[in-house]
Structure 1
Amino acid sequence: MGYYDDFDTKPKKNKGNLGTWIAVSLVSALIGSATTVVLVPTMIKSNVIETKSAFADNGTTSGSKETVNVNIQTGVVEAVNKVKPAVVGVLNLQKSRDFFGRSSDEQMAGTGSGILFDDKGHIITNNHVVEGADTVEVSLQDGKRIKAKVLGADAMTDLAVLEVDPNDVKNITPAKFGNSESLNIGEPAIAIGNPLGLKFAQSVTVGVISATKREMPIYDEAGNEVFSQNVLQTDAAINPGNSGGALVNIKGELIGINSAKISSTGVEGIGFAIPINEADPILQQLMEKGEIVRPVMGISPVALTEVPEGYRGEVPVESGLYVYEAHENAKKAGIEAGDVIVKIDGEAVEDPIQLRKILYKKKPGDKIKVEFYRDKELKTVEMTLAKPE
């Protein structure tokens, strides 16, 4: 879900010598380590398929399922009319520098889409649409361009919130949020955005919800998978420039933020959007704090399956999280290096990605129950999650 990203299954690592294992362990030190890892949703290159983001380069709440009966043709038109005015263009302007380090005038580095979602001038878009921008502008339905401030952005979820002067958008009805948890596979899905830039502003494509709860791997700059983002899959055409645009249901409600597609010879109609139910709490935090503060346990974990048998001690399990290093917060709770964590709040954990998915639903200060083995002895402790250092 990054800028012209590649998407494929990451090659399996060889279970090599201790030096290799330690290197893997240090990469896994993201959780609870004092080391800050810059997370960007960058996909590993593959000879099989390639995922392109929907960012146009210029060269540089749970609920039950619903049954909706509607005339599709009329319903699509009505849904588009509700949301289309709230879909805007987002322009990423950057300064370039010459050989002597002198900066030039700002030039458009790329364009994406965004959605006005309240009457206070707040606009949703993707992080990768505004990443690296010196200035961000928003293009309205009538072609007017206005300055926008980036209130906050989160590379992990690829979301960002912009703010414009409310007076500039007072005549636009904000998009209404739907419920992405109540979607039925096969129901209509409408994508609205700016494919290939402002020349095709507010283009509409129509398809269906192809699948829900797909998993999109997210990698760090070193190519290590660090998280897994839940996304909606649709066959509504998503093209460069659609990033940050609206995925809408037949009732004209916003159900997803368009983000990426699989682009490869012989592959058509596989696009992805961030579900609005998952995006909403992120947006609220970005507006309030300007960033997402995720909790840490205070450990450097590695999957037990990656640990050579000679270093596992006498643990009676084959899977879990080996604590390569315990930091201050974990030590307070009684967790030590060499322990093997098997459950968090009753949920089994086998690798760092599973652990992050559990922790990132919580906040610093929350308490969790940790079950772990120290050699053959099963122990249980309660600990308080901390803020990252």
Structure 2
Amino acid sequence: MTMGLFDDDFYSTRVKRRIRTGKRNNSRPFARRGQSSTFRIAFISSVASSLLVVLLFVAINGGGGERGSEARPALTGGQALVETSERIISASEKVRPAVVSIVNLTNQAMAEQDLGDNPDDGEIMNNANLGSGVIFQKTDGKAYIITNAHVIDDAAVVQAVLINGDRKAATIIGKDVVTDLAVLQVDGKGIDTVVDIGNSSKLRDGEMVIAVGNPLGFGDSLTQGIVSNKKRIIAVSLNQDGIYDWEQEVIQIDAAINQGNSGGALVDLNGKLVGINSMKVADTGVEGIGFAIPIDNAMPILKSLMEKGKVSRPYMGLYSMDLGLYLDSSKDDGINDDPNDETNKGKEEDGEFEVAAPVIPDGIKSGIIVLEAVGPSLAAGLQFNDIVVALDGKPIKSTMDLRKYLYNSKKIGESMKVTYYRDGKKQTLEVKLTEKVEQSEER
């Protein structure tokens, strides 16, 4: 059984016969006239209802004319409605030539495989780590590529492979571990397409996006999905040691992101770059949770890398450990951290030196333990086992808190008041912040 657009009674051609009070003429001429009248009424009603359906259809679809020729508002800003599949095809055709595969032959691979100083292309491809990149600028015969810092980690030889298979030697202009961004430079010959930079702040949850990259070595691969959350804050381990020491703002997407997609393009359906694919949640039972660095956040970092080869940030000079982590490990390991116990004063036994435990005041459960003070912190007087609990009066519960305050609230050359405990006594000092010379584990 099929159902119409309306209930049957609404457009039925059934018409009640008029009751005649006079004597009915049963002759054939009368019969023909009655049948003809009924037929005309039914026909007119059918035509009228059909016309009504047509008018409603036209009104819903924005008028007549050739299908697709009349644009109608469908998205914020009056963007024209086009078939989604055609928009995906158009956007991917626009951006694909600007997306490259990144080949990283690491120093470790060079040493392990004994490849020498000048390995050939075959050796590089067989021993390299793979990633993706996006050509975002071309000037003075050189092309510049965005990728992730982790894609070129420990790189000895880096190459960029274009969509047509051309392979170009790449030079690292600069990288920033904190934001996981890097810029490469290649010869611009044969490169005609540069990606259009979009606006990630205008993305909407649920908006369709396309990920383009080199997953598992399958270059020029496309996946599509939606923006699951346009502003997700996730904790990351900058040193890849399992300790979360930074928080990053990312775009959460459900487009398939696999190994090798890192550094690739996340584009909207206009073919504009809105993010750099950077990571995914890889765990049993987890599907469709990937992350991209918003392009609005990336552009100032890329500008700094282009100009200076690095991102200048204030430097304190600390190697540290979270107090909370230390207390948890002490409970698990049965460590005696009683400051009055002589075994915690430090001693040498059988050629091994027992490190003195920090003195933790009653009620102090969070902060950071100084493992080593260098540079500005050493000059200011911080020492091993000091417990830092506040910066400029702001409570600091972890290394992540320290780094966020340092990078987001302080500038190079400023002084910072440090509140800490030494041997159980609360003290303060000032650290004069300098520029961080190179990427390292300390803050």
Class of the TM-score when normalised by the shorter of the 2 chains: 0.5 to 0.7
Residue aligned with 1:157, SS: coil
Higher helix fraction: Structure 1 or Structure 2?
A: 2
Worse-superposed segment, 232-241 or 219-228: 219-228
Is 1:193 the equivalent of 2:213?
Answer: yes
Worse-superposed segment, 320-329 or 94-103: 94-103
Match of 2:261 in 1: 242
AA in 1 matched with 2:228:
S
1:346 and 1:181 map into 2 onto residues whose CA distance is 33
Match of 1:35 in 2: none
User: Shift of the alpha carbon at 1:186?
Assistant: 1.9
1:96 and 1:337 map into 2 onto residues whose CA distance is 38
Residue aligned with 2:237, SS: strand
Is 1:208 the equivalent of 2:226?
Answer: yes
User: Shift of the alpha carbon at 1:241?
Assistant: 2.7
Match of 2:124 in 1: 107
Kindly indicate whether the alpha-carbon contact (under 8 Å) linking 1:293 and 1:363 is maintained by their aligned counterparts in 2: no
1:373 and 1:300 map into 2 onto residues whose CA distance is 15
Residue aligned with 2:197, SS: coil
Match of 2:197 in 1: 177
1:300 and 1:97 map into 2 onto residues whose CA distance is 30
Residue aligned with 1:229, SS: strand
Aligned length: 320
User: Shift of the alpha carbon at 1:69?
Assistant: 5.8
Is 1:85 the equivalent of 2:103?
Answer: no
Deviation track 1:347-370 (CA, whole Å, cap 9, x = no partner) reads 532111221122234787242543
Residue aligned with 1:281, SS: helix
2:114 and 2:97 map into 1 onto residues whose CA distance is 44
Alignment of 1:1-389 (within 5 A): 67=76, 70=79, 71=81, 73=84, 74-93=86-105, 96=110, 105=120, 106-108=123-125, 109-120=128-139, 121-169=143-191, 171-172=192-193, 174-197=194-217, 200-211=218-229, 212-218=231-237, 220=239, 222-305=241-324, 306=326, 308=337, 310=339, 311-312=358-359, 318-323=365-370, 326-327=373-374, 329-330=376-377, 340-344=387-391, 347-361=394-408, 365-370=412-417, 372=419, 381=430, 383-387=432-436
Structure 1 pair 347–100 and aligned structure 2 pair: CA distance change class (3 A):
closer
1:345 and 1:303 map into 2 onto residues whose CA distance is 19
User: Shift of the alpha carbon at 1:312?
Assistant: 4.7
2:111 and 2:426 map into 1 onto residues whose CA distance is 61
AA in 2 matched with 1:168:
G
1:324 and 1:265 map into 2 onto residues whose CA distance is 36
Kindly indicate whether the alpha-carbon contact (under 8 Å) linking 2:373 and 2:382 is maintained by their aligned counterparts in 1: yes
2:179 and 2:417 map into 1 onto residues whose CA distance is 26
Residue aligned with 1:330, SS: helix
Structure 1 pair 89–344 and aligned structure 2 pair: CA distance change class (3 A):
same
1:376 and 1:96 map into 2 onto residues whose CA distance is 51
AA in 2 matched with 1:117:
F
User: Shift of the alpha carbon at 1:371?
Assistant: 5.4
Residue aligned with 1:232, SS: strand
1:263 and 1:190 map into 2 onto residues whose CA distance is 20
Deviation track 1:267-297 (CA, whole Å, cap 9, x = no partner) reads 2211122222332233223323334454322
Kindly indicate whether the alpha-carbon contact (under 8 Å) linking 2:416 and 2:433 is maintained by their aligned counterparts in 1: no
Structure-2-length-normalised TM-score: 0.60
Cα RMSD of the aligned pairs, angstroms, is 3.7
